[in-house]
């Protein structure tokens, strides 16, 4: 088929996109509205054609047709857990440098009063939204992403074709901290599992390290949630076992759940790290308190925030483009909560 060549001054039309992608104009319209019931293959073909042709719709949903407010909404899952502080600093520095103000909302608080943080932000007319960390508002993200540019930071869920993701390398980070515990001589190690795909990746990293050490059959995985309260119950089950069978090291899903483990150890009279080593994930301000001195995986949250802010700025300029996923390398902050395995 002969392909019509357009001059640089001729605007690309929805018909051009449909022809390039090999689909109908109506299907292109569905993709532009981020409508459901479009196959992944067709959606990706349309988005690829849009990117190749440089197509800019005259009015992409409400995100381009309404007046700009120069504000961006930031949604966190629980303000009581300060793991995201450096991430917020990175996002804010990037957005403020480009003239945007930020509005911070807490999903947990909003849900307790019966409203959605995402709906509240769109009603405020924000130009874009960054969802920070695990969210219970996945359905709302999917719905709103068709109206306002959205970027996920520090989480992989929900995975949507037009929503960018910036996170750390969860599997590598978990592998790194498990190797640290193994090198200290621990052979009975437990992982306290949290929610979502990021916990699945951390579990894979944990199990891979245990398998490489020939200890796959001794690896213990226990559901521990993502809060101090939920981890408290899980740690109680693990540490209540007789000493010969009890784990000597626990790697927790995040720092908040690691604090729950430390609390149970203290109640049971177990010395940290002499009797029990404990490691967390996120290297949050909690881990750095001298009285806690928690070994933790540093996720590079400031860099995640900078990249999330950058991707959102780009997506606000060009809302219709393929999803981008970026991962930041992890490092291990070793502190006083981990030590040699007890004899």
CATH number, residue 44: 1.10.260.40
Q: Is residue 341 part of a domain?
A: no
| Residue 5 located in a structural domain | no
Cis bond upstream, residue 273 (ω within 30)? yes
Indicate whether 194 and 272 sit together in one domain: yes
- Tokens at 199, concatenated: 């916990």
Write down the pLDDT at residue 167.
97
Contact 72, 98 (CB under 8 A): no
Q: What is the CATH number of the domain that holds 314?
A: 3.40.50.2300
- One domain for residues 278 and 306: no
Average pLDDT taken over every residue of the chain:
91
For 293-326, the pLDDT digits (tens) are 999 999 999 999 999 999 999 999 988 788 999 9
Find all residues with CB under 8 Å of 222, minimum gap 6, and list them.
190, 191, 192, 193, 234, 237, 238
Domain housing 131: 71-169+301-331
- Total domains in the chain come to 3
Does residue 8 sit within a domain? no
Whether residue 6 lies inside any domain: the answer is no
- Sorted by sequence, the CB contacts under 8 Å of residue 309 that are 6+ apart come out as 90, 91, 92, 93, 94, 95, 130
Q: What is the DSSP string of 161-183?
A: TT-EEEEE-HHHHHHHHHHHHHH
Is 309 found in the same domain as 195?
Answer: no
CA dist 255 to 101, 225, 248, 280, 298, Å? 30, 11, 18, 5, 11
Of 89, 88, 93, the closest CA to residue 75 belongs to 88
Q: Could you tell me if 220 and 273 lie in one domain?
A: yes
Q: Which two tokens stand for residue 234?
A: 């899980």
pLDDT more than 70, % of the chain: 93
Position 340 in a domain: no
| Confidence grade of residue 176 (pLDDT, cut at 50, 70, 90) | very high
CB atoms within 10 A of CB 62: 12
């Amino acid at each position: 088929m002969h392909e019509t060549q357009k001059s640089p001054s001729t605007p690309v039309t929805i018909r051009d996109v449909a022809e390039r992608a090999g689909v109908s104009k109506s299907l292109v319209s569905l993709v532009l509205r981020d409508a459901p019931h479009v196959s992944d293959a067709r959606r990706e073909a349309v988005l690829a054609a849009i990117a190749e042709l440089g197509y800019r719709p005259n009015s992409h949903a409400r995100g381009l047709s309404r007046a700009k407010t120069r504000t961006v909404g930031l949604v966190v899952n629980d303000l009581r857990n300060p793991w995201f502080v450096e991430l917020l600093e990175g996002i804010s520095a990037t957005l403020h440098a480009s003239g945007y103000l930020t509005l911070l909302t807490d999903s947990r608080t909003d849900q307790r009063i019966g409203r959605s943080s995402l709906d509240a932000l769109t009603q405020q007319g924000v130009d874009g939204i960054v969802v920070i960390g695990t969210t219970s508002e996945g359905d709302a993200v999917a719905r709103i992403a068709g109206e306002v540019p959205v970027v996920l930071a520090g989480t992989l869920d929900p995975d949507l074709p037009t929503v960018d993701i910036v996170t750390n390398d969860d599997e590598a980070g978990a592998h790194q901290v498990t190797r640290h515990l193994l090198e200290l001589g621990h052979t009975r190690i437990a992982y306290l599992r949290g929610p979502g795909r990021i916990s699945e990746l951390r579990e894979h990293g944990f199990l891979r390290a245990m398998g490489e050490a020939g200890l796959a059959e001794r690896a213990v995985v226990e559901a521990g949630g993502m809060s101090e309260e939920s981890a408290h119950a899980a740690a109680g089950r693990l540490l209540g076992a007789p000493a010969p069978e009890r784990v000597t090291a626990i790697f927790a899903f995040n720092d908040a759940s690691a604090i729950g483990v430390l609390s149970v150890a203290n109640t049971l009279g177990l010395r940290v790290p002499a009797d029990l080593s404990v490691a967390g994930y996120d290297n949050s301000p909690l881990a750095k308190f001298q009285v806690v001195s928690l070994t933790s995986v540093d996720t590079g949250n400031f860099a995640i925030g900078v990249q999330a802010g950058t991707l959102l700025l780009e997506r606000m300029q060009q809302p219709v483009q393929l999803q981008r996923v970026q991962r930041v390398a992890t490092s291990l902050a070793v502190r006083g909560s981990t030590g040699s395995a007890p004899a």
